[in-house]
Amino acid sequence: MEAHYIGFNMWVNAVEAAGTTDVDAVREAMWGQEFPNLTGGIAVMGTNHHLSKPVLIGEIRADGQFDIVSQTTEVPGDAWTDHLPESAVLESDWKGLGCGMFNTQTNTCVQLTSNY
């Protein structure tokens, strides 16, 4: 839910910066957008359309709330995992590659024709 809240507000800011709701103009205005996250830091939109956010590790209390026992600085979001062979070859870079599912083995943008 937090990512949707942040993303929507970033979209609003990008529309205002672009001066239009045109998809290509807004997409370019999204890169680098910053918005406060709900843990006290700043979320940043990457060129892969994923947010940079901190990782928090906590312990649940008896009242259902959490005590944070460890927290990182903001970690860039990654669109594809390197731990699965079928997605390890994929890269998402809308600014440099113009593609959210670029296959580095075939050098093709495959998001419109394949799940991988």
Q: For 55-109, how does the pLDDT look when each residue is reduced to its tens digit (9 = 90+)?
A: 889 999 999 999 999 998 888 888 899 999 989 999 999 889 988 899 999 999 9
Q: Does residue 112 have a pLDDT over 80?
A: no
Q: Would you give the end-to-end CA distance of the chain in angstroms?
A: 26
Q: pLDDT, tens digit, for every residue of 5-50?
A: 999 999 999 999 999 999 989 989 999 999 998 877 889 999 998 9
Domains of the chain: which residue ranges?
1-77, 78-116
Helix axes 23-30, 2-18, angle to 10 degrees: 110
Beta bridge partners of 95: none
- pTM recorded for the entire structure: 0.75
- The residue behind tokens 């026992």 is 69
Cα–Cα distance measured from residue 106 to residue 87, given in angstroms and rounded to the nearest whole number: 13
